[in-house]
A and B are shown apart, each in its own frame.
Chain A
Amino acid sequence: MTTAVETFERDRRRMLIRQRTQAALGLAIFTVLLLVSFQRSQFFGSDIGGDPLGRMADFLQRMNPGLKPELLLEDRQTRGSLHSWFYALPIWLRAAWQTVEMAILATALGSVLALGASFLTAQNLMPFAPVRFVVRRILEAIRTLPDLIMALILVAAFGVGPLAGVLTLTISTLGGLGKLFAEINEEIDPRQLEALQAAGAGPLKKIRYGVMPQVLPNYASYALIRLEGNLAGAAALGIVGAGGIGLELQRAITYTEFDTYLAILLIIIAMIFLIDLFSEAVRHRLIGLEKA
Chain B
Amino acid sequence: MPRQAYDQALAIAPDALRAPWTRRARDLVLLILALAALVGMAIDLELAPGALMTGFGKLGRFLGEMVPPSSGGQSVRILKALAETLAMAFAGTVIAAVVALPLGVIGAKTVVANPALHFAFRRFLDIFRGVPALVWALILVSAFGLGPFAGVVALALADIPNLAKLFSEALENSDPKPIEGVRSAGASPLAVMRFGLAPQFAPVATSQTLFFLEGNFRNAGVLGIVGAGGIGFELDERIRIFAFDEVAFIILLYMVAVACLDTLSRALRNRLA
* Chain A residues packing against B (C-beta within 8 Å): 33-34, 36-43, 46-48, 52, 55-56, 58-59, 62, 98, 101-102, 104-105, 108, 141, 144-149, 152-154, 156-159, 161-164, 166, 199-200, 228, 231-233, 235-236, 239-240, 243, 246, 249-250, 253, 256, 258, 261, 265, 268-269, 272-273, 276
In the bound assembly, the distance between CA atoms of A256 and B259 in angstroms comes to: 38
**What are the residues of chain A within 8 A of B196 when measuring CB–CB?**
none
Separation in Å of the B8 CB from the closest CB of chain A? 13
- Out of A47, A58, A98, which one reaches B45, CB within 8 Å? A98
Mostly, the B contact residues are helix
Interface residues of A, dominant DSSP: helix
Interface centre among B58, B88, B134, B242 (most CB of A within 10 A): B134
Inter-chain CA distance A156–B149, complex, in Å, is: 28
Contact between chains at A158 and B45 (CB < 8 Å): no
* Complex interface: chain B residues within 8 A of A144 (CB): 255, 258-259
- If the complex has contacts A253-B142, A258-B142, are A43 and B41 also in contact, measured as CB distance less than 8 A? no
Type the 1/0 row for B248-262, where 1 means its CB is closer than 8 Å to any CB of A: 000100110011000
CB-CB under 8 A from B134, the residues of chain A are 148, 236, 239
A156: B residues at CB distance < 8 A? 58, 62, 239, 242
**Is B149 within 8 A of A48, CB to CB?**
yes
B interface residue numbers (CB < 8 A to A): 1, 38, 41-42, 44-48, 51-52, 55-56, 58-59, 62, 83-84, 86-88, 90-91, 94, 126-128, 130-132, 134-135, 138-139, 142-145, 147-149, 151-152, 218-219, 221-222, 225-226, 229, 232, 235-236, 239, 242, 247, 251, 254-255, 258-259
- Residues of chain A with a CB closer than 8 A to B147's CB: 42, 46-48
Shortest CB–CB separation between residue A176 and chain B, in angstroms? 13
Most interface-central of A33, A158, A161 (chain B CB within 10 A) = A158
A47 touches B47 (CB 8 A): no
Please tell me if the beta carbons of A162 and B221 are within 8 angstroms of each other in the complex: no
Q: A41-B152, A156-B242, A163-B51 are in contact. Are A34 and B247 (CB under 8 A)?
A: no
Alpha-carbon distance A43/B150, docked complex (angstroms): 9
Neighbouring A residues of B130 by C-beta, 8 Å? 228, 231-232, 268-269, 272-273, 276
| A279 CB, min distance to chain B CBs, angstroms | 12
Q: Which residues of A contact B46 (CB under 8 A)?
A: 161-162
Which residues of chain A come closer than 8 Å to B254, judged between CB atoms? 149
- The CA of A101 and the CA of B128, in the complex, are separated in Å by 22
Residues of B within 8 A of A108 (CB): 38
Residues of A within 8 A of B48 (CB): 163
Candidates B87, B145, B236; contact of A37 at CB < 8 Å: B87
Q: Nearest chain A CB to B100's CB is how many angstroms away? A: 16
Residue of B nearest to A94 (CB): B44
- Which residues does chain B contribute within 8 Å of A56, judged by CB atoms? 143
Residue of B nearest to A63 (CB): B139
* Residues of A contacting B58 in the complex (Cβ-Cβ under 8 angstroms): 156-158
A147 to B133 Cα, complex, angstroms: 13
Min CB distance, B210 to chain A, in Å? Answer: 12
